[in-house]
Amino acid sequence: MNSTLDRFVGGKQGAIGLAILAALILVVFPLLLDAFRLNMVGKYLTYAFVAVGLVLCWGYGGILSLGQGIFFGLGGYCMAMFLKLEASDPESTKIQSTPGIPDFMDWNQITELPWFWEPFNSFGFTLLAVIAVPVILALVIGVAMFKRRVGDVYFSIVTQAIALILTVLIIGQQGLTGGVNGITDLKTLMGWDIRSDEAKLILYFVNAFLLLGCILIGKFILTSKLGRLLMAMRDKEERVRFCGYDVAAFKIFVFCVGAAFAAIGGAMFTLQVGFMSPSFVGIVPSIEMVIFCAVGGRLSLLGAVYGALLVNFGKTYFSETLPELWLFLMGGLFIAVVMYFPNGLAGLWQSHGQKWLVRLQTKLRKPTPPAPLPRNDKRDDGESKPLAAAEPSKLETSV
């Protein structure tokens, strides 16, 4: 029981980190930010799904996908299709030549709902499709590539090409997809107005819990035997293969998990922002998503969340205060991260923050035990209490 829990949260260290993050996004942000800023944080957190997936794929699996926008976009589009159909009831589209179909179809002389839009009338199907469509695509890509032992940089390039192909396809088929404008003007989810402030607050919390859920799943995978195999593969693929493991199967699995996470993020993005467009599918957003992960630290699931938050916060802040210069500042931030903290925020935390935390702990402990410190690890029961008491204060100082 305890050990399973341990595996989910990743030990005491992991539990503290997770608690801090949960407190931050579940308590601190909602209390400190107004509805508008909170909705923006919600949007940033949808990118964190992708970044968490990338930590699994890239940081631990060694698979650098430069096309996570594909899955983010597909998840988002599946959700957007459902919402668009709901927003295009015959009543509100009666000025069209064909009422009852999405407005962009009407502009493109389409008179009937295309067959692949039909199932998206059902919410159940949509929820399934949000995960299933991207995962199936990831499975196809994964099987086609990893079974043939295509890896490394070739894999990255192919994912980029697929992202580009998908963008061209979506833009080109504008009658079926909304083209470059995307699917816009989404209003309600099963009759519930998703544009109101209350709805945005609820969606924010749904989003936050889903994200924490994904992080737990990620931790569970990483602490399992599978996680160790992934790391072994990343460091020396041949060795794992010669041990008799089917390397391709593991890679496909972790790639699909990454795709599923990205897709959940995409669907939540659509719900919170109110539209979906091909500008999230292409090469540039896909690379941006890798940057979130790199800034956060590609070996840390929690770091990825902070990375997504920090980069997007920087984007918003700089572009609001210095509309003409902000791109240079963002560029400077990335260069600084790559030059000075190659392991990202998480690396920074491990090299500096943890030392400081240990020093803090020792300071706090000193008054209670008169005995010298090195013997600490032997006393189990007596030790756990002061540590537990120290945790809340640590919580505060780190936030």
Partner 1 sequence: MDSQLKGAKLRFPRRLALGAAALSMLAASAFAAPPTAEVNTTGLAVTDTEVVVGQLHSATGTMAISETGSIQAERLAIEQINAAGGILGRQIKVIQEDGASDWPTFAEKSRKLLVNDKVAAVFGCWTSASRKAVLPVFERENGLLYYPTFYEGLEQSKNVVYTGQEATQQILAGLDWVAKEKEAKTYYLLGSDYIWPRTSMKIARKHIETVLGGKVVGEEYYPLGHTQFGSLINKVKLKKPDVVFAAVVGGSNVAFYKQLKAAGVTAEKQTLLTLSVTEDELLGIGGENMAGFYASMKYFQSLDNPNNAAFVEAFKAKYGQDAVIGDVTQAAYLGPWLWKAAVEKAGSFDVDKVVAATPGIELTTAPEGYVKVHENQHLWSKTRIGEVLPNGQFKVVYESDLIEPNPFPKGYQ
For partner 1 (CB under 8 A), the number of binding residues is 39
Instruction: Spell out, one character per residue from 300 to 339, where the chain touches partner 1: x when CB under 8 A holds, - when not.
Output: ----------------x--xx--xx-xx------------
Helix (H, G, I), strand (E, B) or coil at 275: coil
Could you say whether residue 104 binds partner 1 (CB under 8 A)? yes
Establish if 92 lies at the interface with partner 1 (CB under 8 A): no
Q: Does 111 bind partner 1 (CB under 8 A)?
A: no
Encoded one letter per residue, x for contact with partner 1 by CB under 8 A and - for no contact, window 38-77 reads -xx--x----------------------------------
Q: Least separation, in Å, of the C-beta of 380 and partner 1?
A: 51
* 147 burial via Cβ count (<10 Å: 0-12, 13-18, 19+): middle
Contacts of 42 (CB under 8 A, 6+ apart): 200, 203, 204, 207, 208, 268, 272
The residue range among 95-103, 202-210, 236-244, 352-360 that interacts with partner 1, by the rule CB under 8 A, is 95-103
Q: Write the interaction track for partner 1 spanning residues 255-294; mark x where CB under 8 A is met and - where it is not.
A: ------------------xxx-x-xx--------------
Among 27, 180, 249, 389, binds partner 1 (CB under 8 A): 180
Which lies closer to partner 1 via its Cβ, residue 21 or residue 289? Answer: 289
Nearer to partner 1, 34 or 381 (CB): 34
CA distance 92 to 88: 6
Structure tokens at 73: 């976009």
- Cβ nearer to partner 1, comparing 283 with 387: 283
Give, as ranges, the residues between 184 and 203 that touch partner 1 (CB under 8 A). Answer: 184-187, 195
**Owner of token pair 């295309």:** 114
Q: Are 199 and 39 in contact (CB under 8 A)?
A: no
DSSP state of 183: B
Contact between 35 and partner 1 by CB under 8 A: the answer reads yes
Q: Name the amino acid, one letter, at 89.
A: D
Q: Measuring CA to CA, which residue among 318, 320, 271, 233 is closest to residue 78? A: 271
- Does 109 bind partner 1 (CB under 8 A)? Our answer is yes
Q: Would you state the structure tokens that stand for residue 282, as one six-digit string?
A: 């292409």
Shortest Cβ distance from residue 58 to partner 1 (Å)?
A: 24
**Interacting span for partner 1 (CB under 8 A) from 168-176, 204-212, 352-360, 371-379:** 168-176
Residue of 357, 333, 331 lying closest to 345 (CA atoms): 333
Cβ closer to partner 1: 147 or 187?
187
DSSP states along 12-67: HHHHHHHHHHHHIIIIIHHHHS-HHHHHHHHHHHHHHHHHHHHIIIIIIT----S-
Q: Which is nearer to partner 1, 43 or 365 (CB)?
A: 43
Choose the binding region for partner 1 from 106-114, 249-257, 294-302, 303-311 (rule: CB under 8 A).
Answer: 106-114
Q: Smallest distance from the beta carbon of 368 to partner 1, in angstroms? A: 49
- How far is residue 236's CA from residue 340's CA, in Å, rounded to a whole number? 27
H-type helices in 243-325, by residue range? 247-273, 283-296, 301-321
All residues at 6 or more sequence positions from 50 whose CB lies less than 8 Å from its CB, including other chains: 68, 71, 72, 261, 262, 265, 289, 292, 293, 308
Q: List interacting residues with partner 1 (CB under 8 A).
A: 34-36, 39-40, 43, 95, 97, 103-104, 107-109, 168, 171-172, 174, 179-182, 184-187, 195, 273-275, 277, 279-280, 316, 319-320, 323-324, 326-327
